[in-house]
Structure 1
Amino acid sequence: MDNLNLRLVSLAGAFAAIAAPGVMAQGQPVAWSPSYVGTCATCELSGRNLTGWTLAGANYSEAKLDYSVMRGVQAVAVNFERADLTGADMRGAVLTNAKLADAIFAGTRLQEVSATGADLRRALMHGASLQDAVMIGANFEDAELIIARLEGADMSAGNFEGAMLDRANLRGTVFNGANFKNARFNGADITGASFKDARFAGANLASVKGFAEADFDGACGSLSTRLPAEARLPLCTTTQLASRLGSDLD
């Protein structure tokens, strides 16, 4: 093959590389474009800038996304189960019905996130920022929101059974109709929070700050619910607990 043909072959290869829809990350295809729906499980994307991407329905389970920039990401029904999102910037992301179970959100910026119906069971959210987030009906069962900031967020109808909210800032947060069975609030600030019709069977609120300034209209507890001195909640009825907790009032 003469030199001219060799140069043409090289140029063709270069153009093919530029035009390729993706690159490989730990053996998995990653499309470096603003819109990607597919599989990128276990991908190494630490520190990447994914601002404005569309990931609706994509599978990023166990992916490394720590310290990535994901502002405004459209990720309806995305799978981030067991993903590492430590320190990521996800402000304004749309995570409606997302699968986030067992994911790590330590120090993650989630302000103004829309995550209605999201599954956050056992998620580690130590120090996460969720101010003004809308997460109606989200499932936080056994999640750890220690030192998390939720000021002004709407968590109505959420499931916080067994969740840890120790030293969390819940000032002005809306938890109307939420389930807090066996949840823990050690040192949490609930000043101005709304817990209308919430259920606290077995929950520990003994050391919360601002109990008197929170709204517990229609809320209920159980014989094992721990409250600050002089605070009272009526016992939950079987009807109040039936949807999630059955008839166990202990």
Structure 2
Amino acid sequence: MVHQTPGTVVVIDQQPISCALEQYLGSLAETSNNRYDRTPHGEDYSHSSLRNASFTRQNLEKAKFGRSDLSYANFYGANLTKADFKRSVLHRANLQNVYGEKAKFDSADISCAQLAGANFSDAKFKKADLREADLRSANLRKAKFKEADLRNANLSQADFKDADLRGADLRGANLRDAKLKDARLEGALLPEGFSTRRR
């Protein structure tokens, strides 16, 4: 919620300020109605500009999106099994409820994106930017987040069993009820006061 009175700064409640402020200012993204239906198996979209594109519920297994601009794109409910998003920009993209087992997001910008309820088991997020992303209740078992930036991300109820979080930055992240059994946390920067005991 945004509160503003004359002569005062904007105050935004309950959201990380950079994402919430961007939303308040209208996102500043160009309008696009591009929808991709019946996408061929393994299609190559590498190095493409696909801002605001819609791939909702599409079968994108093994599709290639490396180094593409997918800001604000909608992948809701899509099959992203083994899809390649390395070094792509997914800022504010909608990846809710996708099935992305073994997908590759190494060095991708996924900041402020929506990934709640997604299945990214055994996916790769090495050095990915996930600042302020929403991964509530996501299946992240065996996922690789080595040296990923997860600052201020919402990771509540996410399942990190056997995940690799070595060297990841989780400062300010919401880890309430997150499952971290057998996760590797060597060198990770954890939220202040957070304890991994009995998790």
Gaps of 5+ in 2: 1-31
Q: Are residue 76 (structure 1) and residue 56 (structure 2) matched? A: yes
What letter corresponds to residue 133 of structure 1 in structure 2?
A
Relative to the length of structure 2, the TM-score reads 0.80
Correspondences of 1:126-145 after superposition (within 5 Å) = 126-145=106-125
Superposed CA deviations along residues 168-204 of structure 1, whole A, max 9, x for unmatched, are 0111011110000000111111110111101011101
What letter corresponds to residue 198 of structure 1 in structure 2?
A
**Distance in 2, Cα, partners of 1:128 & 1:91:** 11
CA contact (8 A) 1:60 1:78 kept: no
**Alignment partner of 2:33 out of 42, 52, 74:** 52
Number of residue pairs matched by the alignment: 168
Per chain length, whose mean CA-contact separation is higher, i.e. which structure has more relative contact order (CA < 8 Å, sep 6+)? Answer: 2
| Structure with greater helix share of residues | 1
User: CA RMSD, aligned part only?
Assistant: 1.4
Q: Are residue 154 (structure 1) and residue 126 (structure 2) matched? A: no
The share of aligned pairs that are identical, in percent, is 27
Q: Are residue 100 (structure 1) and residue 80 (structure 2) matched? A: yes
Partner in structure 2 of residue 26 of structure 1: none
Superposed CA deviations along residues 127-157 of structure 1, whole A, max 9, x for unmatched, are 0110100111011100010000000110100
**Alignment partner of 2:198 out of 225, 229, 235:** 235
Partner in structure 1 of residue 192 of structure 2: 213
**Distance in 2, Cα, partners of 1:176 & 1:160:** 12
Relative to the length of structure 1, the TM-score reads 0.65
Gaps of 5+ in 1: 1-50, 217-231, 237-250
**Distance in 1, Cα, partners of 2:192 & 2:68:** 33
CA contact (8 A) 1:78 1:99 kept: yes
**Distance in 2, Cα, partners of 1:163 & 1:62:** 22
What letter corresponds to residue 213 of structure 1 in structure 2?
E
CA contact (8 A) 2:107 2:126 kept: yes
**Distance in 2, Cα, partners of 1:126 & 1:60:** 24
**Distance in 1, Cα, partners of 2:49 & 2:196:** 43
Larger Rg: 1
